[in-house]
């Protein structure tokens, strides 16, 4: 996918956004401006850090050879996953430390210095609920990240997966995961300067430590690749459900788009199911939609995972579901900020001040044909595993509709 003009059809825009889940590839429109702004901002801070004597060595630099040894030559047996950024391998460093080695696939045009600059910034960010970056390798064209290894995998493979992980996700554990993730995002949004918008909050980016403390991974990665390198997710359909419509359609990246994704994740944690399941009857396929319907009919408890046993607190679970609905509201102003979300989750703040209206749903893409004054028709074509959207030219959002809410 090369450059394209802003006058291209919505289809390109939507698809481009969907395919470039973390958005490095969006070359035009609002997002581009945001991304650029983001980068400049970041660079200013980090270049200072690098100029300082201490700053230069804060990221541990590994040689390619060392990482090759650690992962048995990046062997298939050591491969633990593959995402939009590349492959992840389990490795053991010389001193015995287990690590996750992420080999970035896009042949980065970013120079070594720029790469290290961005990495220094990320490696400075430490929090109980964030995965720790151990170091990196930038030898030749290799761009590799080394993270702390987290033994109990991501919640997409355990809680939402086949459930043969053997981990018991009782209610207490789910509360700990939900609150931990919320605290991690609060840290990224509100406690560091400049703030970081994650852009890819989803179950596969929530890893679990030995004691099941949740750790958010892949924060700050959007800055590591050149703005036009495509991050094509292998699981577009799965990722789609986490994207706030304004982000998917207009590329509008704000803290509120992260909060939307968190809302969807929260519903998944309580219900124990993925946000989208095309094997279910059509009206049940989308968790968010189903939750809203149940909320309206005052049957919210039906959404709660039936596998939850003795320690389930139904009132608390319903409160979590309501918070999920609040986070996914259509109007950005209706979505609470992350520190408020944490307070609501732990019961320090009541939800009563907030009116819950119908959340914004990606399935509403189909409604665009109404809202865009007939200029654009978005048709929904369903297949068994994924959805695709087609459109007849004309882009409905003029560039004057710049996002009013930016994160910086």
Q: Which residues are annotated as a binding site for ATP?
A: 102
Site string for ligand NAG, 218-237 (x = CB under 6 A): --------x-x---------
Written as six digits, the tokens of 313 are 């607190």
Q: Decide if residue 108 touches ligand ATP (CB under 6 A).
A: no
Q: Which residue lies nearer to ligand ATP by CB, 82 or 302? A: 82
Q: Decide if residue 151 touches ligand NAG (CB under 6 A).
A: yes
Q: Minimal distance in Å, beta carbon 82 to ligand ATP?
A: 6
Q: Which residues of 41-58 are buried (b: 16+ CB within 10 A; e: fewer)?
A: ebbeebbeebeeeebeeb
Size of the site for ligand NAG (CB under 6 A): 12
Site for ligand NAG, residues 2 to 21, rule: CB under 6 A: 2
The site partner of 26 among ligand ATP, ligand NAG, Mg ion, none (C-beta below 5 to 8 Å per kind) is none
Q: Decide if residue 17 touches ligand ATP (CB under 6 A).
A: no
Helices assigned H by DSSP within 95-188? 112-123, 171-186
Q: Minimal distance in Å, beta carbon 205 to Mg ion?
A: 4
Q: State how far the Cα of 278 lies from the Cα of 269, in Å rounded to an integer.
A: 19
Closest residue to ligand ATP: CB criterion: 83
The site partner of 220 among Mg ion, ligand ATP, ligand NAG, none (C-beta below 5 to 8 Å per kind) is none
Q: Which residue lies nearer to ligand NAG by CB, 1 or 280? A: 1
Site for Mg ion, residues 33 to 92, rule: CB under 5 A: 83
CB 178 within 8 A of CB 320: yes
3-state secondary structure of 154: strand
Q: Minimal distance in Å, beta carbon 223 to ligand ATP?
A: 14
Tell me the backbone φ, ψ of residue 240, rounded to 5 degrees: -50, -45
Q: Which residue lies nearer to Mg ion by CB, 83 or 238? A: 83
Q: Decide if residue 340 touches ligand NAG (CB under 6 A).
A: yes
Residue of the chain from 110, 154, 257, 271 that contacts ligand ATP (CB under 6 A): 154
Q: Which residue lies nearer to ligand ATP by CB, 148 or 228? A: 148
CB 304 within 8 A of CB 271: yes
Among 172, 219, 158, CA closest to 194: 219
Other Cβ atoms less than 10 A from the Cβ of 252: the count is 25
Alpha carbon distances (Å) from 297 to 136, 300, 363 = 51, 8, 20
Size of the site for Mg ion (CB under 5 A): 3
Return the range that interacts with ligand NAG (CB under 6 A); candidates 61-69, 128-136, 291-299, 332-340: 332-340
Q: Decide if residue 212 touches ligand NAG (CB under 6 A).
A: yes
Annotated catalytic residues are: 200
Helices (H) and strands (E) in the chain, counts: 12, 10
Q: State how far the Cα of 270 lies from the Cα of 159, in Å rounded to an integer.
A: 10
Q: Which residue lies nearer to Mg ion by CB, 22 or 329? A: 22
Q: Which residues touch 269 (CB under 8 Å, ≥6 apart)? A: 155, 159, 174, 177, 178, 320
CB 181 within 8 A of CB 262: yes
Q: Are strands 387-391 and 214-216 parallel, antiparallel or unpaired?
A: unpaired
Written as six digits, the tokens of 24 are 């490095």
The site partner of 212 among ligand NAG, ligand ATP, Mg ion, none (C-beta below 5 to 8 Å per kind) is ligand NAG
Q: Which residue lies nearer to ligand NAG by CB, 91 or 135? A: 91
Q: If you write DSSP's letter for every residue of 69-115 in order, what string do you get?
A: HHTTTT-GGGEEEEETTEEEEEEE-TTS-EEEEEEE-S---S-HHHH
Site string for ligand ATP, 67-96 (x = CB under 6 A): -------------xxxxxx--x--------
CA dihedral 303, 305, 309, 311 (to 10 degrees): -70
Site string for Mg ion, 175-214 (x = CB under 5 A): ------------------------------x---------
Q: Which residues bind ligand ATP (CB under 6 A)?
A: 21, 80-85, 88, 100, 131, 147-150, 153-154, 157, 200, 204-205, 207, 217-218, 233
Q: Which residues bind Mg ion (CB under 5 A)?
A: 83, 205, 218
Q: Which residues bind ligand NAG (CB under 6 A)?
A: 2, 151-152, 167, 190, 210, 212, 226, 228, 337, 339-340
């Amino acid at each position: 996918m090369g450059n394209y003009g802003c006058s291209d059809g919505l289809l390109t825009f939507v698809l481009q956004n969907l395919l470039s889940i973390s958005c490095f590839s969006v070359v035009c429109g609002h997002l581009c401006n945001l991304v650029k702004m983001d980068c400049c901002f970041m660079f200013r801070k980090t270049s200072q850090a690098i100029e300082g004597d201490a700053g230069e060595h804060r990221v541990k630099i590994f040689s390619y050879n060392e990482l090759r040894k650690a992962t048995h030559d990046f062997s298939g047996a050591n491969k633990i996953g593959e995402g939009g950024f590349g492959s992840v391998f389990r490795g053991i460093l010389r001193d015995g430390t287990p690590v996750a080695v992420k080999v970035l696939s896009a042949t980065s045009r970013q120079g070594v210095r720029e790469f290290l600059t961005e990495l220094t910034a990320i490696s400075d960010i430490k929090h109980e609920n964030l995965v720790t970056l151990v170091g990196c390798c930038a030898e030749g064209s290799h761009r590799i990240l080394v993270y702390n290894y987290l033994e109990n995998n991501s919640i997409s493979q355990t809680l939402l997966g086949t459930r043969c992980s053997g981990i018991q996700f009782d209610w207490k554990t789910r509360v700990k995961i939900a609150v931990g993730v919320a605290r991690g995002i609060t840290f990224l949004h509100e406690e560091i300067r400049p703030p970081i918008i994650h852009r890819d909050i989803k179950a596969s980016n929530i890893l679990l430590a030995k004691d099941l403390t949740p750790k958010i991974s892949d924060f700050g990665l959007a800055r590591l690749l050149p703005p036009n390198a495509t991050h094509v997710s292998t699981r577009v359909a799965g990722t789609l459900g986490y994207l706030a419509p304004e982000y998917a359609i207009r590329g509008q990246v704000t803290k509120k788009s992260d909060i939307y994704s968190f809302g969807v994740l929260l519903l998944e944690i309580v219900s124990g199911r993925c946000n989208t399941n095309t094997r279910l009857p059509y009206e049940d396929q989308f968790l968010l939609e189903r939750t809203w319907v149940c909320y309206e009919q005052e049957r919210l408890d039906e959404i709660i995972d039936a596998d939850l046993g003795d320690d389930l607190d139904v009132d608390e679970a319903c409160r979590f579901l309501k918070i999920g609905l609040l986070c996914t509201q259509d109007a950005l102003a209706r979505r609470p900020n992350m520190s408020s979300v944490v307070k609501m989750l732990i019961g320090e703040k009541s939800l009563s001040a907030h009116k819950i209206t119908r959340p914004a749903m990606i399935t509403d893409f189909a409604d665009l044909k109404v809202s865009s004054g007939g200029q654009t028709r978005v048709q929904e074509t369903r297949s068994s595993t994924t959805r695709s959207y087609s459109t007849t030219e004309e882009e409905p959002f003029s560039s004057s509709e710049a996002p009013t809410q930016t994160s910086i």
